[in-house]
């Protein structure tokens, strides 16, 4: 980073120096004062916006700065920052778009810190002395400017616009309680502000996440009978109403993050979700924890980008440059054409008095020169992305050097353990074995091999497996296993040193020597009157061969499978109605019989004869 007052560059790895003569220096912004005492903005122990109703509404005679909207705004920002800090490195390792420079967590944390520092400065700056002496408009303007000047990187600039949009909406409602209606409006305005800041919005990123969160909150608010709180509403009523809609926003955000790889191929190729979108859900979870007076909701941890497949990178430009311009009559449109000729990933946000510029370029000096006659430059930060990518590759662990891995769709703890014992990654497909294509893609890319074979183990999973194989950038072969027991027989033939095609051929060949059977409860009455719902039905392959009581149905299936068989394997379901001793006694004496726990829900017993 450039120290504008001294013309020095930070010598930290990945940072490049600009020539100070290329721009007019500006003293550090007095609006950002990290040395301010944040304790002056906090309540005494035991007094919080949640516990003290007087902090949640405008009492007669209170000053504009004591508006509960602003107190709430600072409290939730601080809680969100704490949550981001806790997962900062995890977010960094997800970062592959627009460049895999591994700094999204850093950038978003630093941007939020700048906002909190500014709020703390306002609390102590003369002539006010306390937050109560500061007008709402002044706070909103200061927060928006602090977010703008403190923004780091692409993600930080977008986050600054989310904060600006939410703050402006809160400021437009003087005297109102923060309730679901106001939360919905603030989130919608934040999404609009963020989309408007990006010249070419890309779906599957933080933009999609915040938009879908806003849509969910708007839908939830429309159905709520208590969306608009009365002035006399208690603190408990207010907290409960706000928490309800924010929890739904988080649910929508998590769902959007999971779908991101379906919208953005670079995420799918790297086996990750969008770092900025995930960071936003972490931030919102922190807010919920603050409202509830406890820990944030538990979010799924995300594995970093795969090293076995190169992360996305900018092959055109070397440096990521970010800086602020302060002047008068600054027009974003005036600078865009020239800057677009100098780089990509361009963001220009702000107003006529202050602009924040972010760009990937080979010539940071030429970029800053575009503003030399229009204003003063400050808050400069230039990173060498090639060096960042190199450092990141050295930091992340390498994958095991195997040619081919395997993924099997399974259900039940016992069955999944059996697949894992054979070196196959078991993906929980639920009782009906119906995983999504994204779940399959994630499992494929989490496998530490460049080639993968997939065992669907059910007709229900076949189309999703085929779709995932088509979408994956790895070499993926599908083995036509239509049952878990057939899949287990195939998995025995897996050879990690062979290609996926060779493994698929040998695994398919192994299944040719296997006959499968099952005994399960009937879900419906038989149209021909043979059995009723709940009766036992016995299958060999796909044909019904027995029905009635569980013992008789299992005996018939075992007898038919025993013909020309050397070994019968049986997987016990979670609700099997016969004990293991009874099952063992029904087995044909001339055939080896192995009984294991499968744990599956839909079938009482799954059988395979070899």
Q: What whole-number distance in Å separates Cα of residue 443 and Cα of residue 449?
A: 11
Position 365 pLDDT exceeds 90: no
Nearest to 574 by CA among 608, 539, 604: 604
User: What is the model's pLDDT at position 471?
Assistant: 74
User: What is the model's pLDDT at position 388?
Assistant: 67
User: What is the model's pLDDT at position 239?
Assistant: 75
Q: Which residues contact 45 (CB under 8 A, 6 or more apart)?
A: none
Go through the domains of the chain in sequence order and give each one's CATH number.
68-292 (1.25.40.340), 402-511 (3.40.50.510), 515-609 (3.30.1180)
Compute the average pLDDT of residues 281-292: 91
Give 511-540 pLDDT, tens digit per residue. Answer: 988 999 999 999 889 888 899 999 999 999
The sign one gets for the Cα dihedral 22, 26, 31, 34 is: positive
Q: Which residues contact 231 (CB under 8 A, 6 or more apart)?
A: 57, 177
Token digits of residue 528: 């021909």
Lowest mean pLDDT among 277-286, 308-317, 577-586, 599-608: 308-317
The answer, yes or no, to whether the previous bond of 127 is cis (omega within 30 of 0) is: yes
Q: CA gyration radius for the chain?
A: 30
User: What is the model's pLDDT at position 547?
Assistant: 92
pLDDT band with cut points at 50, 70 and 90 for residue 17: very low
Nearest to 72 by CA among 187, 170, 188: 170
pLDDT, averaged across the chain: 79
The sign one gets for the Cα dihedral 231, 235, 236, 241 is: positive
Q: Specify the 3-state DSSP secondary structure of 132.
A: helix
Nearest to 74 by CA among 170, 148, 176: 170
Spatial contact of 415 and 599, defined as CB atoms under 8 Å apart = yes
Compute the average pLDDT of residues 189-218: 90
Q: What is the DSSP letter of 25?
A: -
Token digits of residue 73: 């705004």
Cβ count near 527 (within 10 Å): 6
Q: What whole-number distance in Å separates Cα of residue 592 and Cα of residue 588?
A: 8
Give 372-385 pLDDT, tens digit per residue. Answer: 889 888 877 777 77
pLDDT band with cut points at 50, 70 and 90 for residue 342: very high
Spatial contact of 391 and 440, defined as CB atoms under 8 Å apart = no
Phi/psi region, residue 455 (left: phi>0; alpha: psi -120 to 50; beta: rest), is beta
Q: What whole-number distance in Å separates Cα of residue 384 and Cα of residue 102?
A: 12
Give 422-438 pLDDT, tens digit per residue. Answer: 999 999 988 888 888 77
- The H or E element that residue 445 is part of is helix 437-446
Phi, psi of 461 (to 5 degrees): -95, -5
Burial class (CB in 10 A: 0-12, 13-18, 19+), 543: exposed
Position 44 pLDDT exceeds 60: no
Percentage of residues of the chain with pLDDT beyond 90: 26
Q: Specify the 3-state DSSP secondary structure of 199.
A: coil
Position 277 pLDDT exceeds 90: yes
pTM assigned to the model? 0.53
User: What is the model's pLDDT at position 389?
Assistant: 66
Position 205 pLDDT exceeds 60: yes
Higher per-residue confidence, 417 vs 310: 417
User: What is the model's pLDDT at position 10?
Assistant: 36
User: What is the model's pLDDT at position 469?
Assistant: 86
Position 66 pLDDT exceeds 50: no
Looking at the chain, how many residues does it have? 610
Give 546-594 pLDDT, tens digit per residue. Answer: 999 999 999 999 988 888 888 888 999 999 999 998 888 888 778 888 8
3-state secondary structure 254-271: HHHHHHHHHHCHHHHHHC
């Amino acid at each position: 980073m450039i120290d504008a007052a001294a013309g020095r560059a930070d010598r930290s790895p990945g940072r490049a120096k600009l020539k100070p003569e290329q721009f007019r220096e500006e003293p550090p912004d007095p609006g950002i004062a990290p040395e301010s005492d944040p304790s002056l903005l906090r309540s005494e122990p035991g007094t919080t916006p949640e516990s003290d109703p007087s902090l949640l509404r405008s009492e007669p005679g209170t000053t504009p700065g004591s508006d509960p909207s602003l107190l709430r705004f600072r409290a939730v920002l601080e809680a969100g920052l704490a949550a981001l800090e806790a997962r900062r490195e995890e977010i960094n390792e997800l970062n592959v778009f627009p460049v895999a420079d591994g700094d999204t967590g850093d950038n978003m944390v630093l941007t939020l810190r700048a906002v909190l520092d500014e709020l703390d400065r306002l609390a102590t700056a003369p002539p006010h002395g306390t937050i109560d002496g500061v007008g709402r408009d002044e706070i909103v303007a200061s927060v928006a400017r602090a977010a703008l000047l403190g923004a780091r990187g692409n993600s930080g600039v977008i986050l600054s616009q989310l904060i600006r949009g939410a703050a402006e909406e809160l400021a437009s409602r003087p005297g109102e309680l923060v309730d679901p209606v106001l939360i919905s409006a603030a989130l919608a305005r934040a999404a609009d502000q963020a989309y408007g800041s990006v010249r070419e919005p890309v779906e599957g990123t933080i933009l999609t996440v915040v938009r879908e969160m806003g849509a969910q909150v708007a839908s939830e608010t429309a159905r709520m009978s208590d969306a608009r709180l009365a002035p006399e509403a208690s603190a408990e009523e207010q907290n409960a109403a706000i928490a309800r809609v924010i929890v739904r926003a988080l649910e929508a955000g998590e769902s959007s993050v999971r779908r991101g790889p379906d919208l953005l191929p670079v995420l799918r190729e790297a086996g990750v979700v969008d770092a900025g979108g995930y960071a936003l859900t972490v931030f919102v979870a922190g807010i919920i924890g603050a409202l509830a007076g406890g820990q944030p909701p538990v979010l799924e941890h995300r594995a970093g980008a795969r090293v076995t497949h190169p992360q996305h990178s900018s092959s055109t430009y070397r440096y990521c440059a970010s800086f602020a311009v302060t002047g008068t009559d600054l027009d974003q449109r005036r600078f865009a054409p020239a800057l677009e000729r100098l780089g990509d990933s361009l963001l220009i946000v702000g107003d006529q008095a202050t602009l924040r510029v972010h760009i990937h370029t080979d010539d940071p000096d030429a970029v800053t020169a575009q503003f030399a006659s229009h204003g003063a430059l400050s808050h400069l930060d230039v990173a060498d992305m090639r060096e960042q990518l190199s450092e990141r590759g050295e930091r992340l662990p390498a994958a095991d050097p195997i040619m081919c891995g395997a993924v099997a769709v399974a259900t039940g703890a016992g069955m999944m353990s059996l697949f894992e014992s054979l070196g196959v990654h078991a993906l929980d497909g639920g009782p009906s074995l119906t995983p999504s294509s994204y779940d399959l893609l994630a499992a494929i890319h989490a496998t530490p091999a460049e080639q993968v074979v997939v065992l669907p183990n059910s007709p229900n999973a076949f189309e999703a497996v085929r779709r995932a194989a088509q979408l994956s950038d790895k070499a993926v072969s599908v083995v036509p296993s239509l049952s878990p027991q057939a899949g287990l027989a195939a998995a025995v033939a897996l050879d990690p040193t062979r290609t996926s095609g060779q493994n698929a051929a040998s695994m398919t060949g192994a299944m040719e020597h296997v006959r499968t059977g099952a005994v399960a409860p009937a879900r419906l009455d038989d149209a021909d009157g043979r059995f009723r719902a709940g009766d036992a039905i016995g299958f060999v392959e796909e044909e019904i061969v027995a029905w009635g009581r569980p013992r008789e149905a299992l005996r018939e299936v075992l007898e038919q499978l025993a013909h020309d068989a050397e070994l019968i394997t049986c997987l016990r379901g979670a609700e099997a109605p016969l004990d293991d001793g009874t099952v063992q006694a029904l087995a044909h004496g001339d055939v080896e019989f192995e009984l294991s726990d499968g744990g599956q829900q839909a079938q009482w017993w799954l059988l395979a004869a070899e």
